[in-house]
Chains A and B, each alone.
Chain A
Amino acid sequence: DAGVTQSPTHLIKTRGQHVTLRCSPISGHKSVSWYQQVLGQGPQFIFQYYEKEERGRGNFPDRFSARQFPNYSSELNVNALLLGDSALYLCASSYLGSGELFFGEGSRLTVL
Chain B
Amino acid sequence: SQQGEEDPQALSIQEGENATMNCSYKTSINNLQWYRQNSGRGLVHLILIRSNEREKHSGRLRVTLDTSKKSSSLLITASRAADTASYFCATDAPRSGAGSYQLTFGKGTKLSVIP
- Chain A residues with CB under 8 Å of chain B are 4, 31, 33, 35, 37, 39-45, 48, 50-51, 53, 55-56, 58-59, 88, 90, 92, 94, 96-106, 108
Contact status B101-A88, CB under 8 Å: no
Residues of A within 8 A of B103 (CB): 33, 43, 45, 101
Q: Encode contact with A along B65-108: 1 for CB under 8 Å, 0 otherwise.
A: 00000000000000000000000101010010111111111111
Contact status A48-B100, CB under 8 Å: yes
Contact status B102-A56, CB under 8 Å: yes
Given contacts A42-B107, A90-B43, A97-B99, 6 further A-B contacts (CB under 8 A): A41-B2, A50-B100, A55-B98, A97-B101, A104-B42, A106-B41
Near A by CB (< 8 A), chain B positions 9-67 give: 31, 33, 35, 40-45, 48
Q: What CA separation (Å) do A63 and B44 show in the bound complex?
A: 29
Which of A53, A58, A104 has a CB less than 8 Å from the CB of B102? A58
Contact status B42-A106, CB under 8 Å: yes
- Chain B residues with CB under 8 Å of chain A are 1-2, 4, 31, 33, 35, 40-45, 48, 88, 90, 92, 95, 97-108
Query: What are 8 contact pairs spanning A and B, CB under 8 A?
Result: A42-B107, A42-B108, A56-B95, A56-B97, A96-B99, A100-B45, A104-B42, A106-B42
Residues of A within 8 A of B101 (CB): 31, 33, 48, 50, 55-56, 94, 97-98
Which of A45, A97, A103 has a CB less than 8 Å from the CB of B43? A103
Specify the chain B residue showing the minimal Cβ separation from A54: B100
Q: What CA separation (Å) do A29 and B99 show in the bound complex?
A: 12
Residues of B within 8 A of A92 (CB): 43
Which of A42, A51, A98, A104 has a CB less than 8 Å from the CB of B105? A42
Contact status B4-A42, CB under 8 Å: yes
Contact status A43-B43, CB under 8 Å: yes
Contact status A90-B42, CB under 8 Å: yes
Q: What CA separation (Å) do A37 and B103 show in the bound complex?
A: 13
